[in-house]
């Protein structure tokens, strides 16, 4: 009978890698997201190897009996996971580098629409608790003016380019 019991140390390492990877992916810093993606990729590779069972002889016909051969599927899955992790790592690294070029930090900012939806949800929650509350919420334009926009630093901001359609409208009038 084939021994399929996993090594508990490897299972514990997989759990720690997945936990740390998920925690880091939920951060705002793209550098931490990058490290989280790498940790999750390594956890997936270990998971495939542990799930693959015991090591064996190379899976070449005629070299060994079928029972002594290693299963080639986990090896192919690990190679695929390595390629996917490499591509995802390159993508997140490119995003972090571009963010560093533009803003001198790699932190992902809140979206104005996300803030508006969170305020609406909080307002609706308060309205259900207290029916006498009046709505004095800001408009979307006021919220947009309050948020810090890294693209409008003043000296680094690009000059506004005129819209060519506006010029043709002026001429038509």
Output the domain CATH number for residue 29.
1.10.287
> Do the domain assignments include residue 68?
yes
Provide mean pLDDT across the span 9-26. Answer: 94
Residue 139, pLDDT > 80, answer no
Handedness of CA 49, 55, 58, 61 (dihedral sign): negative
Total domains in the fold of the chain: 1
Mean pLDDT, the chain, integer: 78
Please write the tens of the pLDDT for every residue from 67-112: 778 788 888 999 999 999 999 999 999 999 998 888 888 887 777 8
> Do the domain assignments include residue 117?
no
3-state helix, strand, coil in the chain (%, to 5): 65, 0, 35
- Give burial (CB, 10 Å; 0-12/13-18/19+) of 88: middle
> Do the domain assignments include residue 70?
yes
| pLDDT of res. 162 | 53
Give yes or no for a contact between 89 and 37, defined as CB atoms under 8 angstroms apart: yes
Res. 141 pLDDT band, cuts 50 70 90: low
The alpha helices in the chain, defined as continuous H runs, are: 8-25, 30-51, 72-103, 112-129, 140-146, 164-172
Res. 165 pLDDT band, cuts 50 70 90: low
| pLDDT of res. 17 | 96
> In the chain, pLDDT over 70 holds for what percent of residues?
72
| pLDDT of res. 116 | 83
Residue 30's contacts (CB-CB under 8 Å, 6 or more residues apart) are 92, 95, 96, 99, 106, 107, 108
> Do the domain assignments include residue 163?
no
Residue 150, pLDDT > 70, answer no
> Do the domain assignments include residue 156?
no
- Nearest C-alpha neighbor of 108 from the set 19, 25, 22, 21: 25
Give yes or no for a contact between 49 and 74, defined as CB atoms under 8 angstroms apart: yes
> Do the domain assignments include residue 54?
yes
Provide mean pLDDT across the span 46-75. Answer: 80
- What CA–CA distance (Å, rounded) separates 20 from 26? 10
Res. 47 pLDDT band, cuts 50 70 90: very high
Neighbours of 96 (CB within 10 A): 19
Tell me which residue range forms the domain holding 42: 8-103
3-state secondary structure of 70: coil
Residue 43, pLDDT > 60, answer yes
> Do the domain assignments include residue 130?
no
Q: Give me the residue label for tokens 């790699």.
A: 106
- φ, ψ at 3 (rounded to 5°): -80, 115
> Do the domain assignments include residue 41?
yes
Residue 22's contacts (CB-CB under 8 Å, 6 or more residues apart) are 36, 40
Per the structure block, which two tokens stand in for 35? 């490290």
Provide mean pLDDT across the span 6-28. Answer: 92
| pLDDT of res. 166 | 52
Per the structure block, which two tokens stand in for 72? 């080639």
């Amino acid at each position: 009978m084939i021994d399929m019991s996993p090594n508990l140390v490897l299972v514990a390492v997989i759990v720690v890698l997945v936990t740390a990877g998920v925690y880091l992916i939920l951060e705002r810093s793209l550098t931490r997201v990058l490290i989280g993606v790498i940790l999750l990729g390594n956890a997936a590779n270990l998971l495939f190897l542990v799930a693959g069972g015991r090591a064996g002889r190379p899976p070449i016909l005629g070299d060994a009996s079928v029972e002594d051969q290693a299963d080639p599927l986990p090896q192919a899955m690990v190679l695929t996971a390595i390629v996917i992790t490499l591509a995802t790592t390159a993508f997140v690294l490119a995003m972090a580098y571009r963010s560093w070029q533009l803003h001198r930090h790699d932190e992902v900012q809140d979206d104005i629409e996300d803030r508006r939806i969170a305020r609406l949800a909080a307002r609706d929650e308060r309205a259900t608790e207290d029916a006498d509350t009046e709505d004095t919420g800001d408009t979307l334009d006021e919220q947009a003016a309050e948020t810090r926009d890294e693209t409008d630093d003043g000296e680094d901001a690009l000059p506004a380019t005129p819209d060519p359609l506006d010029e043709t409208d002026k001429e038509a009038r």
